[in-house]
Amino acid sequence: MLGHLWGFLYSNYLRFWLKWVLRLLTRKCELQRLLDGYRAGARRTLSIGNNGVPGQVLRNAVRVEEAEVEKCVRDVMKEKKIEQKDTRFKTNLHISLLQISGYKKLYLNVENLRKVPYDSDNEEHEEQLIELWNLLMPHENLKARISKQWCDIGFQGDDPKTDFRGMGLLGLVNLVYFSKHYTDEARQILSRSNHPKLG
């Protein structure tokens, strides 16, 4: 009960006055303090997206595409009355907005790849599947596309395409990437999973 009361009082009354006092003392707006308060990286970028910084321009800023970032930075500086010569703020905001835009683009790309079902008639899909086999089992030839051998590398049945239902093509792409770039580790994991006691 007290927590809800405090939250209500803080968000509706105290926060405004606290921000006002901090602005008088530091001569910086909340956004400037956020960007100055963190080192470059994800934590600083998250502070912009998660702190609910008020203002329509700022709400739009975290939704912009990469090509619109520069204009958006100028708009934010104008709305917040931040001098254009404050190059540190300008650079930090620009980098953070580019990161937010990049994260959103990455999320959409990954989600779109996850939605692509594995298609055994697609030559590229089949090539990736065979590449996975060759990376994990270089000394053993695959006898047929549909074979019990797939169980040796962790698939549930004779046809590995049925194991990609939930993750779609993303599952296969991740397995191939890991097996290609971390071959020793992938083979070690496979060996351990087949161990009679540890696996």
State the Cα torsion 120-121-125-128 to the nearest 10°.
Answer: 80
Is 199 a domain residue? no
- 78 and 133, same domain (yes or no): no
- 140 and 73, same domain (yes or no): no
> What is the pLDDT at residue 56?
66
175, 127 Cβ separation under 8 angstroms: no
- 10 and 76, same domain (yes or no): yes
- 90 and 23, same domain (yes or no): yes
Is 63 a domain residue? yes
> What is the pLDDT at residue 198?
58
- 18 and 48, same domain (yes or no): yes
* Buried b or exposed e, range 117-134, using 16+ CB within 10 angstroms: ebeeeeeebeebbeebbe
Count the alpha carbons within 13 Å of 71 in the hemisphere toward its beta carbon. Answer: 7
The first and second tokens of residue 153, run together, are 């590398």
> What is the pLDDT at residue 98?
86
Is 174 a domain residue? yes
- 105 and 136, same domain (yes or no): no
Q: Which of 115, 146, 166 is the last residue of a domain?
A: 115
Tell me how many domains the chain contains. 2
- 111 and 138, same domain (yes or no): no
- 188 and 158, same domain (yes or no): yes
Q: Which of 89, 115, 141 is the last residue of a domain?
A: 115
> What is the pLDDT at residue 132?
96
- 83 and 173, same domain (yes or no): no
Question: Rg of the chain's alpha carbons, rounded to an integer?
Answer: 26
- 108 and 166, same domain (yes or no): no
> What is the pLDDT at residue 75?
83
Task: Give the domain extent around 152.
Answer: 123-194
Q: Which of 97, 115, 133 is the last residue of a domain?
A: 115
Is 8 a domain residue? yes
Is 185 a domain residue? yes
> What is the pLDDT at residue 53?
52
Q: Cα–Cα distances in Å, from 104 out to 55, 65, 98, 99, 100?
A: 21, 9, 10, 9, 6
Is 130 a domain residue? yes
Task: Provide the whole-model pTM.
Answer: 0.67
> What is the pLDDT at residue 88?
81
- 92 and 137, same domain (yes or no): no
> What is the pLDDT at residue 140?
92
- 88 and 139, same domain (yes or no): no
Is 53 a domain residue? yes
> What is the pLDDT at residue 49?
61
By CB atoms closer than 10 A (0-12, 13-18, 19+), residue 192 is exposed
> What is the pLDDT at residue 54?
56
Count the alpha carbons within 13 Å of 197 in the hemisphere toward its beta carbon. Answer: 0
Residues lower than pLDDT 70 in the chain: 9-10, 13, 16, 18-20, 22-24, 26, 37, 49-59, 195-199
